[in-house]
Amino acid sequence: MENPAQYSQLIKQKARELDFLDCGIARAETLENDKERLKAWLENGFHGEMGYMENHFEKRVDPRKLVDGARTLIIVLQNYHTDAIQSDPQAPLVSKYAYGKDYHKIVRKKLKTMLSWMQTEFGEVSGRVFVDSAPVMERAWGRLAGLGWIGKHSLLLNRKYGSFFFIGVIVSDLDLSPDKPMNEYCGDCTRCIDACPTNAILPGRSVDGSRCISYLTIELKKDSIPEEFRQQMENRVFGCDICQDVCPWNKNSHTHSETGLKPRPGLLEMTREDWINLDEQSFNRIFEGSAFKRTKYSGLRRNIDFLNSK
């Protein structure tokens, strides 16, 4: 009979077989330090209109409230980095993570495959999979699982892989050997802070989400983006990669091999005029099954018009 350490090694081997960048394990417990940070972040209103961040606070900081009998969290990293770029230098810019199909479905499917394999391999195992769609603090767990440290831009950073990855989680009642947290390696570097055009990155590895371009172009549901940001959008129409693009650790990033995340046909070839003239029918055709559906056509149209109005 395998022991927790052997189980852990088998799970990490399976993660590699599923083409995840890396896999780490953390013990299910209350995130005491992150609990206080989250509380202060919410009290300062840094979540903007993301009211869902206030919901299920106790579940967010204690995974044992999500899965009965939870003992460990299995954390995986899914690479989404690509060197592919949009062909028209004047076209509105799109975050790399949205080039392909909706990552939630892709990573969730792979995690369900892993959980099913665990149940076959180890016997009766109870667990749930999470991909950025439930009250789980993925970055905090990634740090505790030894997969990186929290950078000054508040993202999980890995010395080998950078930060262009999604984080998936399995909360399980399986007894596993936890990994040790990684040391921090940002040092005195402030490139992400200096490069952020909206000054959203704050001291203490925190971000004022209400000022982040990703929030303004995706999460903000108002009919218009606040005028104070008109000269600060850097031609971004959906998401933002600026703080990651300037990070020295992302020099280590390599192109992913996940078919579903490859750029959808025609997206990178869209010209500035194509974007300006985008109608709802074209939106539904080009962005079917993608992360763009989060803004719907009306939200993307608002973003396009904001970039092209004076």
Residue 188 appears among annotated catalytic residues = no
Query: Which string of b and e fits 124-147 if b means at least 16 CB within 10 Å?
Result: ebebbbbbeebbbbbbbbbbbbbb
| Interatomic CA distance for residues 220 and 209, integer angstroms | 10
What is the DSSP annotation of 116-153?
Answer: HHHHHHHSS--EEEESSSSS--HHHHHHHTTS-EE-TT
Contact in structure between 166 and 131 (CB atoms under 8 Å) = yes
Query: Per DSSP, what are the bridge partners of residue 26?
Result: 73
Q: Look at residue 112 and give its three-state secondary structure.
A: helix
Give, in order, the Cα–Cα distances in Å from 174 to each of 2, 69, 103, 177.
12, 9, 26, 10
- Calculate ∠ Cα 165-254-265, nearest 5°: 80
Give, in order, the Cα–Cα distances in Å from 101 to each of 37, 96, 169, 260.
33, 11, 19, 6
Q: Residues 132, 173, 188, 245: which is the catalytic one? A: 132
Q: Any idea what DSSP says for residue 208?
A: -
Residues tagged active-site = 132
